[in-house]
Every structure is written in structure tokens, then in C-alpha cells.
Structure 1
Amino acid sequence: MNLSSVSVKKRVRKSDFYTLKTLKTPSAGKTLARWLIGFFLLFIVCLFLPWQQNIQGKGKVTALTPENRPQAVESAIAGRISNWKVVEGQYVSKGDTILQLSEIKEKYFDPQMLERLGEQITSKEKALTSKIAKAQALQDQIKALQKAMNIKLNQAQNKYVQARLKLTSDSVDYEAERVRYANFRNQYERNKTLYEAGNIALTKLQDLESKFQESKMKVVSAENKFLQSKTELVTARIDINAVEADYYDKINKAESELNATLSDTYNTEGELFKLRNEYTNMEIRNEQYVLRAPQDGYVVQAMKAGIGETIKEGEPVVSILPQSLDKAVALFIKPMDMPLIARGNKVRVEFDGWPALQFSGWPNVSVGSFGGIVQVVDRVNSVEGLFRILVTPDPDDEPWPERLALGSGAKGWVMLEDVPLWYEIWRQLNGFPPSLYEENKDMTFVKDDKK
């Protein structure tokens, strides 16, 4: 047991004893042990190697701007396909004819409908001009009646003033005659008393009686004139009211006719606007019989094929793939990883059809992948609870393939911070999210000139 300080290995040979020979360790076992120890030490060392955390997502190639994504060309009107001008896979420029439609609504069957609408518009314009002229004539008539009424009222008012002045004069004359009559009556009564007493002659009494009767007659005449002046004053006042009533009646009738004419004019204007609107709509509808390409691109699919096949309003007819130059990759990320992604993060992208060997934690040794930058981060989930991000090419990295087709599959890794490999293994085993990305203050965000 090697308890003594004196060794017996030099004195005793192990080959002479069977038991010692069976206890000898084989050389292969030693070699295996050495390899296992070496691998273990190498594994321990590798655990402390730097590993760049990343968030993986799958998606497809798309366009950054919506107008460059595949789109369906819809028909604005219902119609029947009469002629196809393109075939699937053909490249078309903006404004090229895709197909021609024929009308299926009986309302628009008349080939001269546009001309007839133009004639109706011309007739309505003439009718409107006549009604405007009539309204102007009625306005002039109302002004003339108002002037005539003012003149007649002035005349009647002058006559009323004259009658009032005459009434004043006649009333003064009437009062004067009454005073004179009273004086003559007193003289006649006093002289009659004197005549009865025999103090005056009969001739003088008769002369006074004649003057008394004459004064009485003048009183009656003055009273008649006074009453006649009163009647003339009342008549003059009635004439003023009659002039006002007569002319107001004429003016009201003219204004009523004017309002009716203006109302008819406005109705005609409304009908004219409606006809013009219908004429413009018909012009636009005639242009819709030809379905044109909205932009440059390739015809990839025809939803309607047969000649004579009918389509509805807003129904897609053909699909066009634009000639996009602003390609992007739409990656779908789990909600748990979304708070760690920001605009400007670096991304490694692998495209279907391009062989690649991707080491997600060591992007520097990856082969066949391409660089990208996070350009858009959606704030709401897109499909199946996943969030979408848009990745554009990294201008500082290798350019993306020119033959990359929209809709092809892609994988991406959003690169985060560097951590030891053991930490990443521990995180993956526990299902924890990556460490929060510490934003570099010197990071240059990609500026989207199209926004």
C-alpha cells in the first residue's frame, strides 16, 4: 500500500505475480481518459467564449413601400370581358391596356348617351338663361312700381295737405260768419224793440232784418263749405291708403312671381348641375371600359380568363407584381422578444435558394447570409400573435441578390449584445428572453427618404 518510505518496486517484478498483472491499467483506457479530460477542458474554455445574442424570425421578401408590393388590379365598373391585351408573365408599363370591357347595364346601352346628355345640358342652360332674364325683368318691374307708388303717394299727400289747409280756411270763415250773424241778430233784436217803442222807423228795421237774413244765409253757406272741406280731407286720406294698398298689391304680386321664378331658376340650376355631374361620370365611365396597368410590373395571375365572362364592380381581374427596387424582408417575431428590438438594429438574413452556413452567435464566420437593418417595427400583432418587422439592406454590407423574388422565404437573426456562451446556454435552458439591448449612442439610424 506504499506506506513505507522504502520502495519495493526495484526488488519485486510485477510480471512475476499474476494478481499484479491483472490490475494493470490498459493503455487504451488511458488514452480515452486523456481525450475526455481534453474535451472537458475545451468545453469549459468554450463556455467562456463570446456569443452574440440574437432573436430569430421567419418571413418572406417584400417591398418597403406599399405601392411596390404585389397588387390586384380591380375593375371600377361592372362589365363583360371583350378582349385581352396581355398574357401572364408579360411585363407591362404604367398605362398599358390590360383588357377591354363591354357594357352589361341597360342604362348605358345607348352608344350616343354622352351626346344626348350634352344636348340636355345645352337645353337646360338656355332655359336657365331665360328664367334669369325673367327674374331680372320682374326685379325691374318691382323697382318701377315702387317709384310709381312713391310719386302717387306724394301726389295724394299733397292733396291731403291742401285739403287740410282748405279745411282750416273754411273753418275760420265759418267762425267769422257765425260771429257776424250773432252781431246782426243782436242789432235786429235791439232795433225791433226800439221800433215797437216807436223810436225808429220801419224802413230802418226792415233794412236791418234784410242784413240779418243775409248774414244767416252766409253762415249756412260757410258751414256747408266747412263740412265739404272735412269730407275732402277724409277723401284725401282715403286716397293715400288706396294708393298704398293698390301699389302694395301690385308689388306683392310681382315679388311673388319673382320668388317663383327664382325658385324655378334654382331648381333648373340643380338639374343642370346634376346633368353635368352625370355627363362627367359618363365620360369617366367610358374611360373605365379599358382596364390599364396602374404601374410598371409583371402580370402574374389572371383571376378572370374567358372572353365574355362578366365581372362585378371592384372585383379583382389580374394581379401585377411591380418592378420593385426597394426590397425588404418581413420577419415575424414573438411578442416576448419585441421590446428588445428597435429601429436600426443589425440583422443577418438568409434567403431561400441561396446556400448559406449561418452561425447565429458568430455572424463573422457565417457564409451565404446578408446584412440588414431594422427599418420598421409594427406596434400591433400581425398574424397568429406574432409581430412584424421590416428589414432593409445594410448599405455597409454585401448587397442583396438582384434576382431575389418578392414572396420568397427568408430567415433572419436580429443581433443583440455579446454575452458568454455559458450564459446563452443557461438562458436557452430556462426559456428567458435575451438581455436588453444597450443602444449604442453612436448608432446611425437609417433614414427613409420615402417617408
Structure 2
Amino acid sequence: MASSDINIERELKALPLETTTLLGAADSGRVVSRWLIGILLVLVAIMFLPWQQNVQGNGNVTALSPADRPQQLQSRIDGRIEAWFVSEGQFVKKGDSIVRISEIKEEYLNPNVLPLTQQQQSAKQSAIEEKLNKAAALSQLIERLEQQRDFKLQQTANKVLQYQAEVRQATLEDSVARDQLRRRERLFRDSLGLVSVNDLQTFQIRVQSAAAKLVEKQQMLAITQTDLQSIPAEYGEKIAKSRSDRAATLAEVSEGRSDVAKLKDKVGSL
């Protein structure tokens, strides 16, 4: 028994110690896994850090702080940025104060700029209403001028017809008077003592009177026809001037409305 125990012990010493080897291998794998997990955690942490790209280059540094760099901010009123309340890359929500802006226009420094602007807006609106009333009055004037032109054209045309009838009547009377005078002259030459000199002179006077009347009626007809032709030009000039004044007034109204819109926008921005 003793010799066999000794042999078994020798055989065990001769065998490799696998347990010890496995224990050493397990410790090495644990260390490697820890290193891998640590590196992975570092990489994940780096992903959530603020990232900024760096580029090498030559030059002079003008502003170390981002707040000192020239920056632009969209605003309804021009101004100069005095202070930043947020930093670059920071998340903001609606209603947060971003910057404090100081006015650069002297008119905004006036505490009465708002009431003065409102007064200007009211004055412009009143001026627009007055110009609209003027445009309406000019429209009525144009309408009256057109009515007067049409009435005068009709009236003068009637006069032309009247004088044309009177000229025809005067022409007939002149023709009758000349015919009577010719017969009296024939009787005066052919019959002795039947027609006196006074009767002959009376008919001569009638002829002269009829001729004068005919000339008078012809002149009146010519004058009336000239008036009829001049009426469109006379009233056309007045109507054209009134229309031009109305167009200019409406243009001023449009310009005034544009000014009112600008003042309204300015009041809303103050």
C-alpha cells in the first residue's frame, strides 16, 4: 500500500496542473474584457460631449470668447448687441431671452416716439379721407360738366335747326320781294302812270330789307354752327383737367395709404 501511494503521488506530480493553467487564463480574459468595456464606455461618453472641429492654421487670434465674435441676429428693429444670455450650442425655447439689444436710431431714444408716431398716423389718415372727399367732388364735377356739355350741344343743335329754318324763310322772302320788284319795274316801264315812283321805291326798300334779313340769319346760322363745333373742345378741356386732378388725388391717396401702413408697422414694432 505504501509503495502504491508513492507511485500515485509521483504520477500526479508528473501530470500538468490544468486547473492552475485555467485559473491563469481566466484572469487574463477578465482583464481584457474590462479594458474593452472601459474603452466602449469612453467612446459612448465622447459621443455625447460637445463636438468642435479643430483645424490647424496660421493667423492672429482676434476673439477668444465666442461672445466677442461678430454675430448677426434677425430682429425687427436694428440695434447693437450689448449682452448675450445664452452660449453657442445651447438649447432655447420660446420666450427665452437671448440677447439685450440697444437702439442705434436716435428717434427710438425719444420716449414720446410712440405717441408722436400715432399722431402722424392719425394725421395721414385724416389727409387720406380729405383727399377721398376731393376725389368724390371731382367725380361729381366731371359728371356735371358732361351733363352741361350734352345739354349745350342739344340746345345749340336746336338753334342751328331754328336758324336754318329762318334762313330758308328769309331766302323765300328775299326771292318774293325781288320778284315783286321786277314786276313793278316792268309795269313802271310799260304802263305810263299806273305805277308811281313811290310805289317802285317801296318795293326796292322791301328787297333791301329782305336781303339784309337774309344776311343776318345766315350770319347767325354760321355763328351757331361754330359754337356747336367748339362745345366739345371747350368742355373736353375742362373735363380732362378735372380727370387729371382726380387721378393725381387718387395717387396721393395711394401714397398716403402706403405711409399709413408703414407708420402702423412702426407703431407695432415700438
Q: Which residue of 2 aligns with 1:128?
A: 128
Q: Taking structure 1 as reference, are residues 186 and 99 closer, same or farther at Cα in structure 2, changes over 3 Å only? A: same
**Which of 227, 230, 239 is the aligned partner of 2:218?**
230
* 2:235 alignment partner AA: Y
Distance (whole Å) between structure 1 residues aligned to residue 179 and residue 158 of structure 2: 32
SS in 2 for 1:80: strand
Summarize deviations over 1:192-241 as a string: whole Å, max 9, x none.
4xxxxxxxxxxxx1535443332222111111111111111122223334
Structure with the greater relative contact order (CA < 8 A, sep ≥ 6): 1 or 2? Answer: 1
Distance (whole Å) between structure 1 residues aligned to residue 178 and residue 82 of structure 2: 113
| % identical equivalent positions | 22
Structure 1: which 5+ runs fail to align?
1-59, 63-72, 193-204, 284-451
For residues 41-80 of structure 1, the aligned pairs below 5 Å read 75-77=73-75, 78-80=79-81
SS in 1 for 2:110: coil
Q: More strand per residue: 1 or 2?
A: 1
- 1:217 aligns to 2:205 (yes or no): yes
Report if the CA contact (8 A) 1:121-1:275 is conserved.
yes
Q: Taking structure 1 as reference, are residues 99 and 148 closer, same or farther at Cα in structure 2, changes over 3 Å only? A: same
Summarize deviations over 1:372-416 as a string: whole Å, max 9, x none.
xxxxxxxxxxxxxxxxxxxxxxxxxxxxxxxxxxxxxxxxxxxxx
Distance (whole Å) between structure 2 residues aligned to residue 89 and residue 174 of structure 1: 113
* 1:186 alignment partner AA: R
Distance (whole Å) between structure 1 residues aligned to residue 237 and residue 103 of structure 2: 59
Residue 127 (structure 1) shift = 0.9
Report if the CA contact (8 A) 1:145-1:247 is conserved.
yes
Residue 103 (structure 1) shift = 1.1
Q: How many residues align?
A: 200
Report if the CA contact (8 A) 2:188-2:195 is conserved.
no
* 1:220 alignment partner AA: Q
Q: Which residue of 2 aligns with 1:81?
A: 82
Summarize deviations over 1:107-129 as a string: whole Å, max 9, x none.
43234434433332222111111
Q: Which residue of 2 aligns with 1:118?
A: 118
Q: Which residue of 2 aligns with 1:271?
A: 259
Report if the CA contact (8 A) 1:160-1:237 is conserved.
yes
- 1:180 aligns to 2:187 (yes or no): no
SS in 1 for 2:94: coil
TM-score (norm 2): 0.62
Report if the CA contact (8 A) 1:103-1:109 is conserved.
no
Q: Which residue of 1 aligns with 2:96?
A: 97
Distance (whole Å) between structure 2 residues aligned to residue 174 and residue 150 of structure 1: 36
Residue 88 (structure 1) shift = 9.2
SS in 1 for 2:179: helix
Distance (whole Å) between structure 2 residues aligned to residue 122 and residue 145 of structure 1: 35
SS in 1 for 2:82: strand
* 1:248 alignment partner AA: G
Residue 94 (structure 1) shift = 2.1
Distance (whole Å) between structure 2 residues aligned to residue 161 and residue 184 of structure 1: 35
Q: Which residue of 2 aligns with 1:161?
A: 161
SS in 1 for 2:191: helix
Summarize deviations over 1:332-382 as a string: whole Å, max 9, x none.
xxxxxxxxxxxxxxxxxxxxxxxxxxxxxxxxxxxxxxxxxxxxxxxxxxx
Distance (whole Å) between structure 1 residues aligned to residue 92 and residue 258 of structure 2: 42
Residue 99 (structure 1) shift = 3.6
Q: More helix per residue: 1 or 2?
A: 2
Q: Which residue of 1 aligns with 2:24?
A: none
Report if the CA contact (8 A) 1:80-1:104 is conserved.
no
Q: Taking structure 1 as reference, are residues 177 and 97 closer, same or farther at Cα in structure 2, changes over 3 Å only? A: same
Report if the CA contact (8 A) 2:84-2:100 is conserved.
yes
Report if the CA contact (8 A) 1:82-1:100 is conserved.
yes
Summarize deviations over 1:301-332 as a string: whole Å, max 9, x none.
xxxxxxxxxxxxxxxxxxxxxxxxxxxxxxxx
Q: Taking structure 1 as reference, are residues 106 and 74 closer, same or farther at Cα in structure 2, changes over 3 Å only? A: closer
* 2:81 alignment partner AA: R
Residue 81 (structure 1) shift = 3.4
Distance (whole Å) between structure 2 residues aligned to residue 98 and residue 225 of structure 1: 100
Instruction: Report the RMSD for the aligned CA atoms in angstroms.
Output: 3.2
Distance (whole Å) between structure 2 residues aligned to residue 273 and residue 116 of structure 1: 15
Distance (whole Å) between structure 1 residues aligned to residue 164 and residue 87 of structure 2: 103
Distance (whole Å) between structure 2 residues aligned to residue 89 and residue 237 of structure 1: 90
Q: Taking structure 1 as reference, are residues 269 and 143 closer, same or farther at Cα in structure 2, changes over 3 Å only? A: same
For residues 271-310 of structure 1, the aligned pairs below 5 Å read 271-280=259-268, 282=269
TM-score (norm 1): 0.39
* 1:213 alignment partner AA: Q
Distance (whole Å) between structure 2 residues aligned to residue 89 and residue 239 of structure 1: 87
Q: Taking structure 1 as reference, are residues 101 and 221 closer, same or farther at Cα in structure 2, changes over 3 Å only? A: same
Structure 2: which 5+ runs fail to align?
1-45, 49-70
SS in 1 for 2:160: helix
